Structure 1
């Protein structure tokens, strides 16, 4: 008989976090679901009374994160899978974004995941293993107009995730950077902060909006089986793109970047470093 795992999931009240929470509970696992507002999880709490703990949490608050992780460990005795999923979206051009908007965005999307990672590692190390899934984005490999700060936060988390994976591997802790494709999570509506548009960027803004299109993307529940299988792998990958269409896009982006480097190789090689 397989022992039920304990999950700690941030941003668990909607979108991908909600889908991962439901999938883990349906698999017979136990979940500590953290979110700023945990009321949307009331139906799951009623259905899984003994296996779901809801924790109100703003991941931007480092002290609150450490306290929440201690509560999570106390609730079920251990943590097996940690999913850094909480995040928001800052939409607008680089020039348009205010300092407060940029800092608030990175406080959640980057620093929040760092605080969770710092808080859980001592527990995972002490118990001799565990999984950390850093939820980033298919767009973390490069910036793009109107979503530069979102991509920047996810790219920073990619880099920290790679470093963390090397640092904790000897303790039996596995880290995977989960580069999500576009899913209908509500991120671009309820989770969005928009800049005040500058008229000079209006043509580019319209062009980008046409490129994004109106399609909301697949339901988050369609991504959950991938994450469940990933969490069960004895030797998981350091990085994983989630989404068939997204895989193709990222693959093409990688090829284009390699071609660009090759085109200017002669200039790169002029310097000896």
Structure 2
């Protein structure tokens, strides 16, 4: 059945790939970006099936206006995909106040504002699906991306609570947790803190590990997002990429082992 889908950050990467995948199969798409010049090709290729709107998700007022306009244009909003965001590279000590705040403004508050704008529209129509693009780094952290990790952990916690709050209204919630993909997420889209030389050795190790990772093909995610959107009872969480589950299995095994090892102290602390 034809759906109407709004995607933030649709100018490139996953957002652009997914927008085209939906349009190719006949869905309506509201493609948003801070600069809609990057969406001209979609508008030219798909005509009335696509609505391109300028949106900076850190602007709460604009976010509500844009989602209201999108809903009014097509008369329905079946799916909202919170894809806008970026990565901040740098250790915790290196990040400036402005960099830290801007990371959370985009990744956390942007996701919050879009979710808040979508919920009443979907509640009033009696159905909907909010998809949050999180990350495998929203479950397990790595050095030199601590504030990005933290922003995605916040999205995970916020969305899990939201899922329980809105399910009675017929609104589903899904957290998509990609591994590393060959997009420009770590390139032009990224921000890098001013380095402190004492972390150069650590940074070199992290970058070497990232360089040797088997990055996924972003085009391969198109079929996956279509399946998530079409599922009658979609998952709360889904990994995108083959390396996530083995890594997270080990992460959780290590966590459980440490909690078990310290359980006697934990129980005593209960009183």
Classify the TM-score, shorter chain. over 0.9
Structure 1 unaligned segments of length 5 or more: list them. none
Paired residues for 1:55-70 under 5 Å: 55-70=53-68
Which residue in the other structure is 2:235 paired with?
237
Q: Which residue of 1 aligns with 2:74?
A: 76
In the TM superposition, residue 177 of structure 1 has moved relative to its aligned partner by 1.0
**Greater CA deviation, 169-178 or 142-151?**
142-151
Alpha-carbon distance between aligned partners in 1 of 2:185 and 2:96, rounded to the nearest angstrom:
20
Number of the residue aligned with 2:142: 144
C-alpha displacement of 1:218? 2.5
Match for residue 260 of structure 2?
Answer: 262
**Partners in 2 of 1:173 and 1:166 — Cα distance?**
10
| RMSD of equivalent CA atoms | 1.3
Q: Displacement of 1:214 after TM fit?
A: 5.4
Residues 196-205 or 248-257, more deviating? 248-257
Residue 88 of structure 1 corresponds to 86
Alpha-carbon offset, residue 216 of structure 1? 7.7
How big is each residue's C-alpha offset from its partner over 1:229-254, in whole Å with a ceiling of 9 and x where there is no partner? Answer: 01111111111111112222222222
The corresponding residue for 1:185 is 183
Instruction: Report Cα offsets for 1:211-239 as digits up to 9, x if no partner.
Output: 11156822311112111101111111111
Contact persistence 2:134–2:156 (CA under 8 A): yes
Counterpart of 1:251 (choices 246, 249, 252) is: 249
Query: How far off its partner does 1:38 sit?
Result: 2.1
1:169-206 per-position Cα deviation (integer Å, ceiling 9, x unaligned): 00000001111111122111111111110011111111
Whether the 8 Å CA contact 2:32–2:52 is kept in 1: the answer is yes
TM-score, normalized by length of structure 1? 0.96
**Range moving further from structure 2, 4-13 or 234-243:** 234-243
Q: Does the aligned pair in 2 maintain the 1:184–1:216 contact within 8 Å?
A: no
State the TM-score, normalized to the length of structure 2.
0.96
